[in-house]
């Protein structure tokens, strides 16, 4: 007899992770046909030209040289003090806004998103993000009783849909006292899109307008892929706009070591708070500490030490950044092959600027991915389209992927 032990409130809580399922299909194909013949566009990690997940060399050397106690000792729930400073350096580079700022350690970028939702939205409230989005935002909201709602990322001209954002923010602010908006930029997962400086001006104007009417507006900028978006200060220039905002507009950054430091499984990140009002930052430190203690107590000490070592040694940091830049250039070349061929064969890929993924809108993405798999090319079937990981497929294997995808769209 089937037994139900979980609380009735947990009914229906079953994760349908299409990307992990697609990964399983890749492994089966590799077992059947050999690695060389399979194109794995499902992996959300940078892989070398042989398809193996790659570690930035300086990260590997440092990690292997660390004292055992760097791994086994506890750390404070808010993170090691030097790590919190190093996160601020890494997150802002030279674009630190003129504001009070603080960083609190989190279990990866996922943990940072969790802490932002837990503390800057209310139970039963809507949290707003873009329709094209990282799938986990939905579960992160519903797990703690929030509802995720969306606005279209793109308008008809495939620019950031400011009007849709304004309309949705206004609607939600008539229903609730505060609003948390999550924006994943630059190098957005899954499209590779980034908000322009003008887009940011529009976003902040919308937030300020609602704040002037007494609403508390929090904006979480998920910068998980920022280190693969271009020159570090260029891609962070928008952060200067977070200077001297009204007290009721609170900006946070979800910082992650997963992609930028190739430390995916080490689970290190941070939530950064930015406010013109020091009491908002004091409160941030208190509430986020509470969340950290209650969720994971403290995070990977070795990863924190590693970030601190890199950020506090200028020569080492330059070397590390040069190595990471090489990864970024490799991704750019791979993406260029795809986008050039997509143009040639009129595959309607979304405007990719940078990052790990390219997306193509599709109503029947699962079927398209199945058809594509006939050519031993694997992609992620998302609700709004097909996601292809340019971070993990060599330039050589990338050739012909766009036209195979075009054929899969025709066949589906
Ligand atoms: N944000 C986005 C958009 C992501 O794609 C990911 C990981 O895939 C994360 C945040 C969080 O990553 P992690 O928890 O590994 O730091």
ipTM: 0.99
Distance separating alpha carbons of residues 215 and 121, to the nearest angstrom: 12
Ligand 1 pocket: which of 23, 53, 109, 252 to mutate (most atoms within 8 A of CB)? 109
As a whole-number percent, the residues of the chain with pLDDT over 70 amount to 100
Structural domains of the chain in order of their starting residue, each with its CATH number: 14-57+317-411 (3.90.1150.10), 74-312 (3.40.640.10)
Residue 194, pLDDT score:
98
Cα dihedral across residues 376, 377, 378, 382: positive or negative: negative
Residue 107's φ and ψ, nearest 5 degrees, are -75, 85
Compute the average pLDDT of residues 36-57.
96
Residue 13, pLDDT score:
86
Checking if the pLDDT of 220 tops 90, the result is: yes
Single out the residue of 252, 278, 219, 223 nearest to residue 99, CA to CA: 278
Residue 237, pLDDT score:
98
User: 376 in helix, strand or coil?
Assistant: coil
Residue 18, pLDDT score:
83
Residue 11, pLDDT score:
84
Distance, CA 35 to ligand 1 centroid (Å)? Answer: 27
Q: Tally the residues of the chain.
A: 412
Checking if the pLDDT of 3 tops 90, the result is: no
Compute the average pLDDT of residues 20-49.
93
Distance, CA 109 to ligand 1 centroid (Å)? Answer: 5
Tokens of 53: 């997940």
Tokens of 5: 């032990």
Residue 14, pLDDT score:
86
Distance separating alpha carbons of residues 209 and 19, to the nearest angstrom: 38
Single out the residue of 158, 225, 224 nearest to residue 196, CA to CA: 158
Ligand 1 pocket: which of 224, 255, 259 to mutate (most atoms within 8 A of CB)? 224
Checking if the pLDDT of 9 tops 90, the result is: no
Tokens of 152: 């279209």
Ligand 1 atom closest to the CA of 268, numbered from 1: 16
| Ligand 1 site, residue 224, Cβ cutoff 6 A | yes
> What tens digit of pLDDT does each residue of 161-174 get?
999 999 999 999 99
4 pLDDT tier (thresholds 50, 70, 90):
confident
As a whole-number percent, the residues of the chain with pLDDT over 90 amount to 94
CA 68 to chain centre: 31
Single out the residue of 216, 258, 278 nearest to residue 106, CA to CA: 258
Residue nearest to atom 1 of ligand 1 (CA): 224
Residue 17, pLDDT score:
80
First and final C-alpha spacing in the chain: 41
Among 2-16, 76-90, 299-313, 316-330, whose mean pLDDT is lowest?
2-16
Distance, CA 224 to ligand 1 centroid (Å)? Answer: 6
> What tens digit of pLDDT does each residue of 312-366 get?
999 999 999 999 999 999 999 999 999 999 999 999 999 999 999 999 999 999 9
Checking if the pLDDT of 207 tops 90, the result is: yes
| Ligand 1 site, residue 44, Cβ cutoff 6 A | yes
């Amino acid at each position: 007899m089937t037994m139900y032990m979980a609380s009735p409130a947990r009914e229906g809580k079953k994760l349908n992770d299409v990307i992990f399922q697609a990964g399983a299909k890749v492994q089966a194909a590799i077992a059947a046909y050999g690695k060389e013949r399979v194109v794995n566009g499902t992996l959300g990690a940078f892989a070398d030209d042989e398809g193996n997940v790659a570690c930035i060399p300086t990260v590997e050397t440092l990690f292997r040289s660390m004292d055992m106690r760097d791994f086994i000792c506890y750390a404070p729930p808010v993170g090691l003090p030097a790590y919190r400073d190093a996160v601020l350096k890494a997150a802002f580079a030279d674009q630190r806004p003129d504001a009070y700022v603080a960083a609190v350690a989190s279990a990866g970028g996922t943990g940072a998103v969790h802490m932002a939702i837990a503390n800057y939205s209310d139970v039963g409230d809507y949290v707003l993000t873009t329709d094209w989005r990282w799938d986990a935002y939905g579960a992160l909201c519903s797990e703690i009783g929030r509802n995720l709602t969306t606005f279209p990322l793109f308008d008809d001209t495939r620019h950031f849909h400011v009007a849709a954002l304004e309309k949705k923010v206004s609607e939600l602010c008539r229903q609730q006292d505060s609003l948390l908006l999550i924006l994943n930029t630059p190098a957005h997962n899954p499209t590779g899109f980034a908000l322009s400086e003008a887009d940011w001006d529009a976003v902040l104007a919308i937030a300020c307008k609602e704040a002037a009417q007494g609403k508390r507006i929090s904006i979480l900028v998920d910068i998980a892929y920022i280190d693969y978006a271009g020159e570090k200060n260029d891609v962070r220039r928008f952060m200067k706009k977070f200077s001297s905002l009204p007290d009721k507009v609170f900006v946070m950054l979800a910082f992650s070591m997963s992609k930028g430091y190739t430390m995916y499984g080490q689970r290190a990140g941070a939530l950064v708070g930015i406010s013109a009002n020091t009491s908002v930052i004091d409160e941030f430190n208190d509430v986020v500490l509470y969340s950290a203690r209650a969720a994971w107590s403290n995070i990977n000490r070795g990863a924190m030490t590693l970030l601190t070592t890199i950020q506090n040694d200028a020569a080492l940091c330059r070397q590390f950044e040069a190595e990471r830049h090489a990864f970024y250039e490799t991704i750019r070349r791979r993406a260029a092959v795809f986008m050039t061929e997509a143009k040639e064969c009129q595959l309607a890929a979304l405007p990719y600027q940078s990052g790990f993924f390219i997306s193509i809108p599709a109503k029947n993405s699962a079927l398209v991915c199945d058809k594509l798999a006939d050519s031993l090319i694997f992609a992620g079937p998302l609700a709004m389209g097909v996601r292809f990981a340019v971070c993990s497929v060599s330039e050589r294997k990338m050739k012909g992927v766009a036209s195979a995808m075009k054929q899969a769209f025709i066949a589906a």
